[in-house]
Amino acid sequence: MVGAGFVPGMNAVIKGAALAAGELGWEVVGIRDGFEGLLHPEHYPEGGLVPLTPHLVETLDPAAGSLLGQSGRIDPFNVRQLNEDEIIEEVDQSDELLARLKEEKIEALISVVGGQGLTICYKLHAKGLNIVCVPRAIENDIASTLVSFGFNSALSFTIEMLDKARQAAQAARKVAVVEVLGVQSGWLALQAGIAAGADAVLIPEIPCDLQTVAAKLKEKMTNRRSYGLVVVAEGAKIVDNSQVPANKVPENTLKASLSPLAAGDNSTYVIQRSGLAAETVANGLQLLIAEETFPLVIGLWARGGAPTAVDRQLGLAYGAGAVQALNAGQDGVMVAFVPPAIKFVPLAEAINKVRTVPADNEFLKTARSLGICLGN
């Protein structure tokens, strides 16, 4: 089963699990579109389950989208449906899901999921489901594993895009400010920024002062090098951006009237739209330096495309690892890559943790020694 949120090369995990299970003589079926194929088989004329025979998976295209599709944020504990009065409501269908698994004689479930999916699997495990999870995260923010499936492909693509942004900045003699994925963790921004030779990398873990970034850019930019590249993670925190025009909607009576418990749009806890970080940093920097800046957003582009060699190998290893876990009698675990081994981490330990960049991380040391400004 593949949870919500796409990453490149999902077929590699499916293939790894199916081949490893085949070696053990186990029968494997895939569930279409998260749990949809199981809960609503009537939506699939060809059946909600796909028999994953070694013959079928051997020829799976690693660059294609997932053979099984994925769920669109479907949580079996919270399924939206119409009641008898055709009123929309959310209901708990977890018991129905477990019954359907039993009906289909499915003894164990391998689930490729992100952070939220891990909690859902943890709850299903608490209800008795035999389940093993494979971590999937573009931002590499799942704790207990060094690397989540999908991160390396996103990293590779982001580096390629940063190279192009730098070339564009060079041609235009401007400063490119490129926003990359990473609300809570700055791995993608940091590692891609180092690889692409950015002048500054701003990540959520290190509150950033734009004055410091501006000073660094002034130092680096000369008549012969009149361009710059700043990489900013979506969740980067700008310490003092009072000089930046705030994108705030003033409190007004109409707003209060329509939305009784409204928090202001300038609240710390407002969900920021994609592109806001790049726009904020680009606008703020332009007020502090002589050169022009321009914002670019990589965003969801990083979720598509073909997987890298690393992700193809990792996907196969994670898929096979999940089967090994089940064969070893382990369930309620997440497969983790803790070099040099594939390990199994209990779901209770895997949830509620975010893998952030620690202050003493080697990538941070490398960035500093390369002269990359981290905003502090």
Partner 1 sequence: MNSSVLTGTVLNIQRYCSHDGPGIRTNVFLKGCSLRCKWCGNPESIRVKPELSYDPKKCKGRECSLCLKPPLPQGAFYFTEGEEGPVKVNWDLTSGIDESMSSLCPTGALEMYGKKMTVDEVLAEVEKDASIYRSSGGGITLSGGECLLQADFSAALLKGAHERGINTAIETACNVPWANIEKVLPHVDTMLHDHKLTIPERHKKWTGAGNERILANFKKAYETFPDIDFIARTPLIPGVNADEEHIRAVLAFIRPHKNVIDYELLPYHRFGLGKYEYLGKVYELDDYKTPSDEVVQSLQAIIDEAFGRTGKKDPEQS
Where does this chain bind partner 1 (CB under 8 A)?
A: 73, 75, 77-78, 80, 82, 85-90, 116, 119-120, 122-123, 249, 253-265, 267-271, 273-275, 348, 351-354, 356, 358
Backbone angles phi, psi at 29, to 5 degrees: -125, 150
| Shortest distance, position 218 Cβ to partner 1, whole Å | 33
* Residue among 34, 80, 27, 83 nearest 56 (CA): 27
| Shortest distance, position 96 Cβ to partner 1, whole Å | 17
| Shortest distance, position 77 Cβ to partner 1, whole Å | 7
Instruction: Name which of 86 and 362 has its Cβ closer to partner 1.
Output: 86
Half-sphere exposure of 211 (CA within 13 A, CB side): 5
Instruction: Name which of 52 and 120 has its Cβ closer to partner 1.
Output: 120
| Shortest distance, position 370 Cβ to partner 1, whole Å | 25
Instruction: Name which of 26 and 77 has its Cβ closer to partner 1.
Output: 77
Q: Give the residue carrying structure tokens 């400063």.
A: 175
| Shortest distance, position 116 Cβ to partner 1, whole Å | 7
| Shortest distance, position 270 Cβ to partner 1, whole Å | 5
- The secondary structure of residue 245, as a DSSP letter, is P
Instruction: Name which of 82 and 341 has its Cβ closer to partner 1.
Output: 82
Cα–Cα distance measured from residue 28 to residue 56, given in angstroms and rounded to the nearest whole number:
11
Instruction: Name which of 140 and 156 has its Cβ closer to partner 1.
Output: 140
Could you tell me whether strands 131-135 and 333-338 are parallel, antiparallel, or unpaired per DSSP bridges? parallel
Cα–Cα distance measured from residue 180 to residue 189, given in angstroms and rounded to the nearest whole number:
6
Helix 151-172 × helix 309-327 angle, to 10°: 160
Cα–Cα distance measured from residue 203 to residue 354, given in angstroms and rounded to the nearest whole number:
14
Instruction: Name which of 77 and 301 has its Cβ closer to partner 1.
Output: 77
Backbone angles phi, psi at 232, to 5 degrees: -130, 125
Cα–Cα distance measured from residue 15 to residue 162, given in angstroms and rounded to the nearest whole number:
32
